[in-house]
């Protein structure tokens, strides 16, 4: 009888812990006010070599991711951060305040997967295996990556400076990131 009581107590603790993890995960999801309907946001990333990469955002496809990025840019969050991951023929990735791919803004964004494909120059949000774990880390595709389609939030496209995207090396810094059209 005592063993049965122990099993019941352990099962209750396990259930409570699982519920807490679910609650904590859901509580960390952040929603932003959508950008104005007529917004045509364009992001400029000034690189330490003096070049500028320009990207258009897709607020109609991923409104929360676009609004979150604009919010972080306006706060100067990305200024001085490095591209911490560069994989030839795949992606360049930045936006980690720790510089190693393990950091973020302190909240997560709910996934906004769409039919937008991962083409050369596509801007999308990095995440962990949890679909709702994106925060501040983004990547730009160096070539089409169809195996990522509908599994990551695509929210923009490179419109100028793709040759600069291709030249980024691990550790290169984003001197200043700005946004216009919002």
Q: List the chain residues with pLDDT less than 50.
A: 4-5, 8-9, 19-27
CATH architecture under which domain 42-180 falls: Beta Barrel (2.40)
Closest by CA to 168, choosing from 15, 77, 18, 52, is: 52
Structure confidence at residue 138 (pLDDT): 98
CB of 65 closer than 8 Å to CB of 125: yes
- Report how far residue 99's alpha carbon sits from residue 85's, in angstroms, rounded to the nearest whole number: 9
On the 0-12 / 13-18 / 19+ scale of CB atoms within 10 A, 26 is: exposed
Structure confidence at residue 56 (pLDDT): 98
Structure confidence at residue 28 (pLDDT): 81
pTM of the model: 0.85
H helix or E strand, kind and range, residue 157: strand 154-160
């Amino acid at each position: 009888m005592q063993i049965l009581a122990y099993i019941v107590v352990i099962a209750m603790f396990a259930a409570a812990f699982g519920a807490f993890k679910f609650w904590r995960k859901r509580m960390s999801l952040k929603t932003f006010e959508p950008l104005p309907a007529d917004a045509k946001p364009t992001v400029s990333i000034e690189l330490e070599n003096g070049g500028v990469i320009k990207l258009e955002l897709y607020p109609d496809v991923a409104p929360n991711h676009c609004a979150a990025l604009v919010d972080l840019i306006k706060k100067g969050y990305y200024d001085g951060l490095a591209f911490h991951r560069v994989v030839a023929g795949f992606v360049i990735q930045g936006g980690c305040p720790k510089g190693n791919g393990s950091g973020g803004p302190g909240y997560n964004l709910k996934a906004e997967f769409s039919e937008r494909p991962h083409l050369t120059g596509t801007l999308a949000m990095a995440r962990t295996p949890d679909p709702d774990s994106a925060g501040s880390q983004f990547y730009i595709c160096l070539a089409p990556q169809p195996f990522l389609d509908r599994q990551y939030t695509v929210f923009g496209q490179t419109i100028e400076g793709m040759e600069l995207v291709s030249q980024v090396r691990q550790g290169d810094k984003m001197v200043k990131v700005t946004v216009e059209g919002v």
